[in-house]
Each structure stands twice: as C-alpha cells, then as structure tokens.
Amino acid sequence: SQKIEQNSEALNIQEGKTATLTCNYTNYSPAYLQWYRQDPGRGPVFLLLIRENEKEKRKERLKVTFDTTLKQSLFHITASQPADSATYLCALDNQGGKLIFGQGTELSVKP
C-alpha cells in the first residue's frame, strides 16, 4: 500500500541554522509533491509545490528538492527563525485529485 513518512516527529534547531525536513514515500508515483505549514489549531497553509520533472524549487528562505528515484523530498529552511516553529506536512499529489499527507514534522527553532 502507499506509504509516506516524514522523518522524526520533532526537530529542534538553533536560530540562524538551516532546518532540513525529509519526506519519503513508497508504492506511489506522484505527479507533484506539496509542502504545508500548520500552526496549532489552524488549517494547513500551502508553502511550495514541486513537479515530478523538477529537481529543486525555491521561495525566499525555503528550498524543496524532489528525487523520484530515491522517492524522497527534502525541505530546507535557511536562516531559521523562532517564527518558523510549526508543524510541516508533505503531501503527494497524483494529479487525479487524491492527496496523501505525511504525519508531519514539528519544528522548534530556539533563539
């Protein structure tokens, strides 16, 4: 069956460092992979989408890579700030309307 895993339930880093979050999947061939941010008690907020034929995508301090051979996406936040503390979700999109989400990685950035 399809499976999507995000590494470690929680990630603690120091302000200014780069946070790297991992999303691995099996038994799936997504057309797109999406990353979201979710704050406690709120709905997820879309951050970035990367297509299967794209290797890397950037948006301000965010960078996403997508390796369809390894079946893995890496999400980087450079120069992290305490305001970046949140749960980050990855989602697989097969272009047919069905989305599968990972369980999320909770990021805590300490001053």
Partner 1 sequence: EAQVTQNPRYLITVTGKKLTVTCSQNMNHEYMSWYRQDPGLGLRQIYYSMNVEVTDKGDVPEGYKVSRKEKRNFPLILESPSPNQTSLYFCASSPRASGGAVADTQYFGPGTRLTVL
Residues lying near partner 1 in the complex (CB under 8 A): 31-32, 34, 36, 41-46, 49, 89, 91, 93, 95-104
Question: Of 36 and 75, which has the nearer Cβ to partner 1?
Answer: 36
87's CB contacts (< 8 A; 6+ apart) are: 37, 38, 39, 40, 104, 105, 106, 107
Residue 101, class by beta-carbon neighbours within 10 Å (0-12 exposed, 13-18 middle, 19+ buried)?
Answer: middle
Question: Of 15 and 46, which has the nearer Cβ to partner 1?
Answer: 46
Closest approach, Cβ 111 to partner 1, in A, equals 28
Written as one string, the DSSP assignment of 11-32 is EEEETTSPEEEEEEEES---SE
Question: Of 77 and 89, which has the nearer Cβ to partner 1?
Answer: 89
Closest approach, Cβ 43 to partner 1, in A, equals 3
Question: Of 32 and 76, which has the nearer Cβ to partner 1?
Answer: 32
Q: What share of the chain is helix, strand, coil (3-state, %, to 5)?
A: 5, 60, 40
Closest approach, Cβ 48 to partner 1, in A, equals 10
Closest approach, Cβ 80 to partner 1, in A, equals 23
